[in-house]
Amino acid sequence: MFPNVRMRRLRSGKIRNLVRETKLSVDDLIYPIFVDENTDSPVEVRSMEGIMRLPLSEVADEAKAIADLGINGVILFGIPSKKDEVGSSAYGDEDIVQQATREIKEELGKDLLVITDVCMCEYTSHGHCGIVDLKSKDVINDETLPILGQIAVSHARAGADMVAPSGMMDGMIGAIRNSLDNENFENIPIMSYAAKYSSCFYGPFRDAADSGYSFGDRSTYQMDPANSNEALREVELDIMEGADIVMVKPALPYLDIIRRIKDEFRMPTAAYNVSGEYSMIKAAAANGWLDGDKAMYESLLSIKRAGADMILTYFAKELAMMLQD
């Protein structure tokens, strides 16, 4: 008790560093890359300052710059030149993510981890994450699963080190695991978007990935933001189906979910610091309302403190440079 106990004794100078409980490292970071089949030069995403859609010709150079910063991995999102109702541009050997994966692996080999997003929303004309019954406007879960398996196998065949299914289809992890194993890709890990909420914070991503939906929303297959126990059920099911890493998305509004999942399952746990979280800080900093660098660092630190082992974030390059300095 005071005056014998003075908590401030450990808060000055280098002592503060010694007792710090949570530390951010460049090893914690995964950087998203958008590869656009429709452009020959980088195009800045309107709602995401500093984030580009890249042509295939520049992907390897971008990946090398990321690796040179010490960042361990990237996750690839593709914007195809053609879309249709069944997302057929998602799983061809010469489709955009497959080509980008080969370009990066040929340039960097094992020096950079390539993770690929396995979903259909960027590739479907309606913008939903699976096959749709156009009469009822329902996303048909079970018919979608084989296609997700095809996408994952095509990514692995192109050289992806890890696949990351994000569509929140029931049974998707088991279907993808079976498809990979049947094609002798049993050593390719799966990072599951296991607790992905139906969130308003994805808005800028839809500009970046051209993945807006033409009707309805995604609330019938993404999680209700009001639910916490359901997240644990979702994660447990994905682990049982073969997920190697589980993810919570978004991150900042769901720090409690990250903590609950980490405490319950002790699994490698990722969190996606999503586009809306990024753009809010960028907009506030541009208006002089926040110190952008400090807000970035504090927000990412909070995600790590909540229990995330790895953070997918558009701030990855900026944070890596900050940590180097």
Catalytically active residues are: 196, 249
What DSSP string runs through 61-120? HHHHHHHHTT--EEEEEEE-S--BTT-GGGS-TTSHHHHHHHHHHHHHGGGSEEEEEE-S
Q: What is the DSSP letter of 317?
A: H
Q: How many CB atoms lie within 10 A of CB 195?
A: 28
Q: Which residues contact 123 (CB under 8 A, 6 or more apart)?
A: 78, 80, 83, 84, 87, 88, 89, 90
Strand 245-249 with 269-273, pairing: parallel
Both structure tokens of 193: 């978007």
Structure tokens at 180: 């990979």
Residue of 198, 194, 168 whose CA lies nearest to 269: 194
Report the distance separating Cα 76 and Cα 124, nearest Å: 17
From the list 32, 103, 82, 56, the residue with the least C-alpha distance to 311 is 32
CA dihedral defined by 160, 174, 202, 312, rounded to 10 degrees?
A: -40
